[in-house]
Amino acid sequence: MLETPFIDIHTHHSIRIDNVLSIINCFPEQIKLEEHTDKYISVGIHPWHLNNDSADENLNLIRTFALLDKVLAIGEIGLDRNRTIALSIQEAYFTKQIAIAESVNKPIIIHCVRYFQELISIKKKLKASTPWLIHGFRNNIQIVEDLLQQNCYISFGEALLFDKMTQDVFIEVPIKRLFLETDESTYSISDIYKKAAQLKSLQLNDFKTKLFENYTAVFHAK
């Protein structure tokens, strides 16, 4: 029997690691498909990248890439209050990319910084049917409860190793709504899994199985 892999739902590292199934984050203008023929990727316009003249061109690239089997998700996309780009512009490109995800029935991976109420408002307004995954979560329990009410998935990264508030919030999230990731961290996904399993009072193999079930459900993967 094959060992259940670790699932790294969002990473900027493209190095292949044994027994790790990674979804590599790619920006549309940087994709070289020949480098990713044997890898799963996500693709999207990050809210940090909206202050240039190529956003509309990149949207067209995403529409093309979204049709590919190796592209499992649209993202990371979203909203960020720490940027000088107007919320109206961020929302416009966010909703356009949500529409692309809906058209191909693929989940979205979301970057959100201090715009959670706006994010939830968009979710309610659009009545989006594809899964929404909030990546790199390290906020408070009230926000996570609001997101869970909207059927979002919550992904935790390296903060789970050392941040007490993140750990406390993680413990409260139902396991059927959880994912883990490395993002840009130097910590391995196995390190994060081991801490997560400990916090959930589960054996590592049991925890891996449960997150793999989440992965297969959300990404329709085999």
Which of residues 27 and 175 earns the better pLDDT score?
175
69 is in an annotated binding site: no
**Token code pair at residue 42:** 């996500």
SS (H, E, C) 131-176: CEEECCCCCCHHHHHHHHHCCCEEEECHHHHCCHHHHHHHHHCCHH
Q: What Å distances lie between residue 197 and 83, 132, 175, 200, 206, CA to CA?
A: 35, 23, 10, 5, 8
Kindly state the percentage of the chain with pLDDT values over 70.
96
Whole-number pLDDT of residue 16? 85
At residue 61, does pLDDT exceed 80? yes
At residue 135, does pLDDT exceed 80? yes
Which of residues 55 and 37 earns the better pLDDT score?
55
Whole-number pLDDT of residue 222? 45
76 is in an annotated binding site: yes
Whole-number pLDDT of residue 84? 86
Q: Are 73 and 219 in contact (CB under 8 A)?
A: yes
Tens of pLDDT, residue by residue over 151-169, are 999 999 999 999 999 999 9
The dihedral through the CA atoms of 110, 106, 152, 165 has a sign that is negative
* Nearest by Cα to 113 from 132, 131, 90: 90
Which of residues 5 and 83 earns the better pLDDT score?
5
12 is in an annotated binding site: no
Residue bearing tokens 């139902």: 174
H-assigned helices in the chain: 55-65, 87-104, 116-126, 141-149, 164-172, 189-199, 204-219
Side-by-side strand order, sheet with 71-80: 6-11, 20-26, 40-43, 71-80, 108-113, 132-134, 153-156, 178-180
Mean pLDDT in the chain?
93
Q: Looking at residue 69, what DSSP letter applies?
A: T
Q: Which residues pair with 153 in a beta bridge?
A: 133
Whole-number pLDDT of residue 32? 66
User: Which domains, from first to last, does the chain contain?
Assistant: 6-185 (3.20.20.140)
Q: How confident is the model at residue 83 (pLDDT cuts 50, 70, 90)?
A: confident
Q: Are 37 and 9 in contact (CB under 8 A)?
A: no
Largest Cα–Cα distance in the chain? 52
10 is in an annotated binding site: no
Tens of pLDDT, residue by residue over 22-47, are 999 998 877 765 565 678 999 999 99
Q: What Å distances lie between residue 47 and 67, 78, 90, 121, CA to CA?
A: 22, 6, 6, 18
Tell me the whole-structure pTM to 2 decimals.
Answer: 0.94
